[in-house]
Amino acid sequence: MNARSAHPTAVPVEAVRHPRSVTALRGVRLLVGGYLALSVLTLVAIYLLRGDAAAVNDAVWVRAGIVAVSALLTFVFAVRAARGSRGAYRRLRIVAAVMTAAIAVIIAVPGPFPLWLKIEQGVCGLALLGVLVLANGRHLRGVFAAR
Protein backbone atom coordinates (compact mmCIF):
# COMPACT_ATOMS: atom_id res chain seq x y z
CA MET A 1 0.00 0.00 0.00
CA ASN A 2 1.34 3.42 -0.93
CA ALA A 3 1.44 6.10 1.72
CA ARG A 4 0.16 9.43 0.46
CA SER A 5 1.94 12.65 1.30
CA ALA A 6 0.09 15.14 3.49
CA HIS A 7 0.86 17.76 0.84
CA PRO A 8 0.96 16.01 -2.54
CA THR A 9 1.65 19.29 -4.34
CA ALA A 10 4.57 20.22 -2.07
CA VAL A 11 8.14 20.23 -3.30
CA PRO A 12 10.62 18.23 -1.21
CA VAL A 13 12.15 20.42 1.51
CA GLU A 14 15.71 19.73 0.36
CA ALA A 15 14.89 21.07 -3.12
CA VAL A 16 13.48 24.34 -1.75
CA ARG A 17 16.41 24.70 0.66
CA HIS A 18 19.01 24.23 -2.07
CA PRO A 19 21.22 27.37 -2.14
CA ARG A 20 20.18 28.24 -5.71
CA SER A 21 16.51 27.84 -4.79
CA VAL A 22 16.91 29.97 -1.68
CA THR A 23 18.66 32.73 -3.64
CA ALA A 24 16.10 32.75 -6.47
CA LEU A 25 13.10 32.62 -4.15
CA ARG A 26 14.55 35.37 -1.94
CA GLY A 27 14.91 37.54 -5.03
CA VAL A 28 11.33 36.80 -6.04
CA ARG A 29 10.05 37.71 -2.57
CA LEU A 30 12.07 40.96 -2.53
CA LEU A 31 10.82 42.02 -5.96
CA VAL A 32 7.22 41.14 -5.15
CA GLY A 33 7.54 42.89 -1.78
CA GLY A 34 8.72 46.02 -3.59
CA TYR A 35 5.81 45.71 -6.00
CA LEU A 36 3.40 45.44 -3.07
CA ALA A 37 4.97 48.38 -1.20
CA LEU A 38 4.88 50.60 -4.29
CA SER A 39 1.27 49.63 -4.94
CA VAL A 40 0.23 50.56 -1.41
CA LEU A 41 2.18 53.84 -1.56
CA THR A 42 0.45 54.61 -4.86
CA LEU A 43 -2.95 54.14 -3.22
CA VAL A 44 -1.88 56.52 -0.46
CA ALA A 45 -0.72 59.08 -3.05
CA ILE A 46 -4.01 58.75 -4.93
CA TYR A 47 -5.93 59.34 -1.73
CA LEU A 48 -3.85 62.43 -0.95
CA LEU A 49 -4.27 63.76 -4.52
CA ARG A 50 -7.97 62.89 -4.78
CA GLY A 51 -8.97 66.55 -5.14
CA ASP A 52 -6.83 67.06 -8.26
CA ALA A 53 -8.91 65.87 -11.23
CA ALA A 54 -5.90 66.05 -13.56
CA ALA A 55 -3.85 63.69 -11.37
CA VAL A 56 -6.57 61.33 -10.14
CA ASN A 57 -9.64 60.13 -12.00
CA ASP A 58 -11.89 57.08 -11.72
CA ALA A 59 -9.64 55.02 -13.99
CA VAL A 60 -6.67 55.72 -11.71
CA TRP A 61 -8.61 54.56 -8.65
CA VAL A 62 -9.74 51.36 -10.37
CA ARG A 63 -6.32 50.54 -11.81
CA ALA A 64 -4.52 51.20 -8.52
CA GLY A 65 -7.00 49.03 -6.65
CA ILE A 66 -6.55 46.15 -9.09
CA VAL A 67 -2.76 46.48 -8.90
CA ALA A 68 -2.78 46.53 -5.09
CA VAL A 69 -4.94 43.39 -4.90
CA SER A 70 -2.80 41.60 -7.48
CA ALA A 71 0.36 42.66 -5.62
CA LEU A 72 -1.00 41.25 -2.37
CA LEU A 73 -1.97 37.97 -4.06
CA THR A 74 1.39 37.78 -5.80
CA PHE A 75 3.15 38.28 -2.46
CA VAL A 76 1.12 35.47 -0.89
CA PHE A 77 1.96 33.22 -3.83
CA ALA A 78 5.68 34.06 -3.53
CA VAL A 79 5.72 33.24 0.19
CA ARG A 80 3.88 29.95 -0.36
CA ALA A 81 6.12 29.04 -3.29
CA ALA A 82 9.15 29.62 -1.08
CA ARG A 83 7.63 27.07 1.31
CA GLY A 84 7.39 24.56 -1.53
CA SER A 85 3.87 24.92 -2.92
CA ARG A 86 3.74 23.95 -6.60
CA GLY A 87 0.30 25.53 -6.98
CA ALA A 88 1.49 28.85 -5.55
CA TYR A 89 4.54 28.77 -7.83
CA ARG A 90 2.29 28.21 -10.85
CA ARG A 91 -0.09 31.02 -9.78
CA LEU A 92 2.89 33.33 -9.14
CA ARG A 93 4.11 32.81 -12.70
CA ILE A 94 0.65 33.32 -14.20
CA VAL A 95 -0.23 36.47 -12.24
CA ALA A 96 3.21 38.01 -12.85
CA ALA A 97 2.91 37.38 -16.60
CA VAL A 98 -0.66 38.70 -16.85
CA MET A 99 0.10 41.82 -14.81
CA THR A 100 3.28 42.52 -16.79
CA ALA A 101 1.31 42.34 -20.03
CA ALA A 102 -1.46 44.56 -18.61
CA ILE A 103 1.13 47.10 -17.47
CA ALA A 104 2.70 47.16 -20.92
CA VAL A 105 -0.70 47.93 -22.42
CA ILE A 106 -1.41 50.67 -19.85
CA ILE A 107 1.91 52.34 -20.65
CA ALA A 108 1.69 51.98 -24.44
CA VAL A 109 -1.92 52.90 -25.13
CA PRO A 110 -3.09 56.50 -24.81
CA GLY A 111 -5.91 56.76 -22.36
CA PRO A 112 -7.15 58.09 -19.08
CA PHE A 113 -3.98 57.43 -17.11
CA PRO A 114 -1.73 60.37 -16.17
CA LEU A 115 2.02 60.25 -16.81
CA TRP A 116 2.87 59.80 -13.13
CA LEU A 117 0.79 56.60 -12.96
CA LYS A 118 2.35 55.28 -16.17
CA ILE A 119 5.80 55.82 -14.64
CA GLU A 120 4.73 54.02 -11.45
CA GLN A 121 3.32 51.19 -13.53
CA GLY A 122 6.62 51.01 -15.43
CA VAL A 123 8.50 50.50 -12.16
CA CYS A 124 6.00 47.81 -11.13
CA GLY A 125 6.41 46.20 -14.55
CA LEU A 126 10.19 46.09 -14.15
CA ALA A 127 9.82 44.40 -10.76
CA LEU A 128 7.44 41.84 -12.24
CA LEU A 129 9.76 41.29 -15.18
CA GLY A 130 12.47 40.41 -12.66
CA VAL A 131 10.04 38.00 -10.97
CA LEU A 132 9.34 36.37 -14.32
CA VAL A 133 13.04 35.98 -15.09
CA LEU A 134 13.74 34.36 -11.70
CA ALA A 135 10.58 32.25 -11.52
CA ASN A 136 10.95 30.96 -15.07
CA GLY A 137 14.63 30.19 -14.71
CA ARG A 138 15.78 26.65 -15.38
CA HIS A 139 16.56 25.88 -11.74
CA LEU A 140 13.18 26.87 -10.25
CA ARG A 141 11.25 25.30 -13.11
CA GLY A 142 13.12 22.08 -12.34
CA VAL A 143 12.47 22.34 -8.61
CA PHE A 144 8.74 22.87 -9.08
CA ALA A 145 8.25 20.44 -11.97
CA ALA A 146 5.65 17.78 -11.27
CA ARG A 147 7.28 14.48 -10.47
Each residue's pLDDT tens digit, 74-129: 999 999 999 999 999 999 999 999 999 999 999 999 989 999 999 999 999 999 99
List, in order, residues 6 or more apart from 53 with CB less than 8 Å away.
none
Is the torsion defined by CA of 126, 130, 135, 137 positive or negative?
positive
**Residues 134-140, mean pLDDT to the nearest whole number:** 94
Averaged confidence pLDDT in the chain: 91
What is the three-state SS of 73-140? Answer: HHHHHHHHHHCCEHHHHHHHHHHHHHHHHHHHHHHHCCCCCCHHHHHHHHHHHHHHHHHHHHHCCHHH
| The model scores a pTM over 0.95 | no
pLDDT bucket at 1, cuts 50 / 70 / 90: very low
Confidence check: pLDDT of 26 > 70: yes
What is the three-state SS of 28-52? Answer: HHHHHHHHHHHHHHHHHHHHHCCCC
List, in order, residues 6 or more apart from 94 with CB less than 8 Å away.
none
Q: How many CA atoms lie within 13 A of 85 on its CB side?
A: 14
